[in-house]
Structure 1
Amino acid sequence: MRYSELEFRRLAIWGGGREGRTAIQALRQRFPDKMLTWIVPAAELSESRTAAPDGIILAAEGEPDADLAGYEVVVKSPGISAYRPDVLAAKAKGTQFTSGTAIWFAEHHGANTICVTGTKGKSTTSALIAHLLRAGGVQVGFGGNIGLPLLAFDAQPPADWYVFELSSFQTADLDCTPTVAVLTSLAEEHLDWHGDVERYRSDKLRLFRNAVRAVLPARMELPVSTRGEVVRFGSEGRWHIAEGHLYRAQHRVMPLRDLPLRGRHNHINLCAALVAIEAAGFDAFKLLKHVGSFQPLPHRLQELGLRDGILYVNDSIATTPTATLAAWDCYRSQPIALILGGYDRGLDWTSAVTALGTQKPRLILAQGANGPRIAALMRAAGIAVVETRDLKAAVSMARLALSNGGVILLSPGAPSFPAFRDYAERGRCFAAAAGFDPNTIASIDGLGVH
């Protein structure tokens, strides 16, 4: 849906977070005299009032002005499920829903885009692509789910290429034609938003329907049709890892120990990035020399430092059991106190418990809403576990368990809310509890056009 289709229609923007604020600013700039309603949760009303441009009608959810059926079009923030009863009821009465992401793509048909999605790995993969292209002299716009909504690019100069990280929330109602669409991985996640596993997969894979080129993991069959060429990473014909080295087909390129990325999963992310770069028409061999200057993202296997022989690792971004296992695998040769738990989305922890049982951590610290469920599974598997009231208490207990040194790893396998605003706030809380200055955890560099 383009801006021109919104100009003469009753319009509301729904969502008080970063996406909502960006959408309200973009629409007010485009339509300075149009009546716009901004619908936000009641708890965010005061904060939103400060951020609202002049002339905006601000409505808390549940108020008469927040009746979705009273609008012809609602620009919905991605975090609000498209399958909520109030959304479905409004659709049945004729209300159309769109998003800032959908508006950007409609306005920029034909733009060169590399869109990265996946259950895990999409942030690092998209950041690697943007970094390597920029190092090669390409003007790149970098954003999306990683921290800069697409409509924010309206206020920036045009880029030669755009690299977007897109979540399943953003792809669920998206009709676009990416130049390159990348799938890093596909596992169970966000069942609370999508309703079930099949719908989650379908919503995420919608991105690939009209992609010019689709980049997929080796040996993964895409269960939806795509009109474009399919290329794969992790296979012997393209970029892959084997015998401790990075390979391009049969050519051994460099030792994995020389990469600024820890863990097999991140080495695979690099393979995905290199195949995507080639799919976009660039020379990945030539650009790979710049990988040494890549800075790993904050809250992703971020080694905060040593204290009394204990290495503190912040992997707060890990919101699935699969991500937690990837983090644990990086440090499993050392004594580990592993901090788990957060919001309970009903994900299955059985495989994770089985894997952890093969080489048991020194101690599991279970906290958050799903902490008791995780703890029960661990005890049944004979794994040492302690339930704690919160993250700070978990860090204290972990420190006592590693009196002779080791690794305290925060890799929760679950979202941060409601205890924390987001994974970044959770990571900073972990840093503070560990004795590090949380303000030194940098934000993500390179967002926007550079």
Structure 2
Amino acid sequence: MTRERPKLGWGDLRGARVGVWGFGREGEANLRKLRSLGVEPVLVDDSPTAGEAGDEHVLATADGGLDALLRCEVVVKTPGISSYSPQADRLRQAGVVLAGGLGLWLQEADRERVVCVTGTKGKSTTSSILGHLLTGLGYRAMVGGNIGAAPYDPALAGDCDYWVIEVSSYQATDLASSPPVTAVTSLHPDHLPWHGGVEQYYRDKLSACSQPGAELTVANGDSELIRARAGLLAPRVEWVLETDEASATWLDPLGLPGRHNRRNALIARRVLRALGVEGADDDEALCAAAAG
């Protein structure tokens, strides 16, 4: 099942009737971003919690909230709300554009300086390793997305040299573009009720690697599930095995246990090379960056 992905950026929402659907941590970041653009959105949550939203007035989806969203032009939903839900279908049928904050940001970002990391397991570790190595090599790096911070949140304003974005399967369905370099760490059945089935989950998860702009995916070559779905990745794929660089010691200071984490670190290095990061080919420099 495929749905058109809106090619909108945050800047396109100026002057529009906008709803924020889902008012947790990411919903609050969405609200701050919209207000920085001069947009005052309607706020809706499936289960508003008293006190959680502070002074904000949040409608319950089932108690007037969905009707309010139907009057919007664009609804920015939180990733936890399924793109395949009956309410989401009803909004689309009414001509409302459904978008996600990460997808809106990526449309406007300098994608040459962004890497998206996805995978059922290992994406947080690999994203953290990437951010740690970039910082150790002297770069300003933000690690965000599913791992925590929203890269578009005005509360976190500041320029970076690189953005390392962990992408969940939920967030992947909101992306209408990919950066040139992406990574995928593993693939196993997960989140099936949200996606509606295992193959749809695989397609949604890997779609973060194959939207317009994608050039290279650095992928776990030990995963038969990923290898069997190489056609869902970027036009070029570099496979990384846990036995690669058998004599390498630069990753020892990371102190990560397990062969799977060794592969995650090797994926991180291959990503740095693909980004053209100075020091990525220097074992001594990487060892110093890995320390701490």
With normalisation by structure 2, the TM-score equals: 0.86
Structure 2 distance, partners of 1:132, 1:259, is: 10
| Mapping 1:254-269, distance limit 5 Å | 254=249, 259-269=254-264
Match of 1:122 in 2: 123
Pick closer, same or farther for the CA change 1:118–1:38 going to 2, 3 Å: same
Tell me whether 191-200 or 261-270 shows the greater mean CA deviation.
Answer: 261-270
Structure 1 distance, partners of 2:289, 2:186, is: 22
Which of 5, 13, 35 is residue 20 of structure 2 equivalent to?
A: 13
Q: Which has the higher contact order (CA 8 A, sep 6+)?
A: 2
- Partner of 2:58, secondary structure, is strand
Q: Is contact 1:12-1:37 (8 Å) kept?
A: yes
Letter in 2 for 1:6: L
Q: Is contact 1:173-1:203 (8 Å) kept?
A: no
Tell me whether 206-215 or 38-47 shows the greater mean CA deviation.
Answer: 38-47
Matched, 1:215 2:218: yes
Which of 25, 39, 43 is residue 38 of structure 1 equivalent to?
A: 43
Structure 2 distance, partners of 1:256, 1:7, is: 46
Q: Is contact 1:114-1:164 (8 Å) kept?
A: yes
Q: Is contact 1:116-1:181 (8 Å) kept?
A: yes
Q: CA deviation at 1:232?
A: 1.6
Letter in 2 for 1:233: V
Match of 2:61 in 1: 61
Tell me whether 37-46 or 174-183 shows the greater mean CA deviation.
Answer: 37-46
Match of 2:286 in 1: 288
Q: Is contact 1:18-1:149 (8 Å) kept?
A: no
What whole-Å deviation, never above 9, does each CA across 1:44-83 have from its counterpart, x for those lacking one? 2431134x4xxxx531222224423222210000011111
Pick closer, same or farther for the CA change 1:155–1:207 going to 2, 3 Å: same
Pick closer, same or farther for the CA change 1:42–1:177 going to 2, 3 Å: closer
* RMSD of aligned alpha carbons: 2.3
Q: Is contact 1:133-1:140 (8 Å) kept?
A: yes
Pick closer, same or farther for the CA change 1:268–1:131 going to 2, 3 Å: same
Matched, 1:274 2:269: yes
| Mapping 1:355-370, distance limit 5 Å | none
Q: Is contact 1:118-1:183 (8 Å) kept?
A: yes
Match of 2:146 in 1: 145
- Partner of 2:54, secondary structure, is helix
Pick closer, same or farther for the CA change 1:263–1:155 going to 2, 3 Å: closer
- Bigger fraction of residues in strand: 1
Structure 1 distance, partners of 2:253, 2:106, is: 38
Unaligned 5+ segments in structure 2 are: 1-7
Q: Is contact 1:100-1:150 (8 Å) kept?
A: no
Structure 2 distance, partners of 1:257, 1:109, is: 32
Pick closer, same or farther for the CA change 1:147–1:35 going to 2, 3 Å: closer
Matched, 1:27 2:28: no
Match of 1:410 in 2: none
Aligned residues: percent identity? 32
Q: Is contact 1:205-1:224 (8 Å) kept?
A: no
- Partner of 1:151, secondary structure, is coil
Pick closer, same or farther for the CA change 1:223–1:259 going to 2, 3 Å: closer
Match of 1:49 in 2: 54
Q: Is contact 1:232-1:275 (8 Å) kept?
A: no
Structure 1 distance, partners of 2:125, 2:255, is: 12
Q: Is contact 1:40-1:48 (8 Å) kept?
A: no
Structure 2 distance, partners of 1:27, 1:287, is: 41
Pick closer, same or farther for the CA change 1:62–1:264 going to 2, 3 Å: same
Tell me whether 154-163 or 203-212 shows the greater mean CA deviation.
Answer: 154-163
- Report the number of matched residues: 275
Structure 2 distance, partners of 1:257, 1:130, is: 17
| Mapping 1:331-410, distance limit 5 Å | none
Pick closer, same or farther for the CA change 1:87–1:135 going to 2, 3 Å: same
Q: Is contact 1:121-1:269 (8 Å) kept?
A: yes
Q: Is contact 1:83-1:193 (8 Å) kept?
A: yes
Match of 2:248 in 1: 253
Match of 2:4 in 1: none
Q: CA deviation at 1:292?
A: 4.8
Q: CA deviation at 1:161?
A: 1.0
Structure 1 distance, partners of 2:123, 2:74, is: 30
Q: CA deviation at 1:43?
A: 3.9
- Partner of 1:230, secondary structure, is strand
Structure 2 distance, partners of 1:259, 1:8, is: 48
Letter in 2 for 1:13: V
Pick closer, same or farther for the CA change 1:218–1:9 going to 2, 3 Å: same
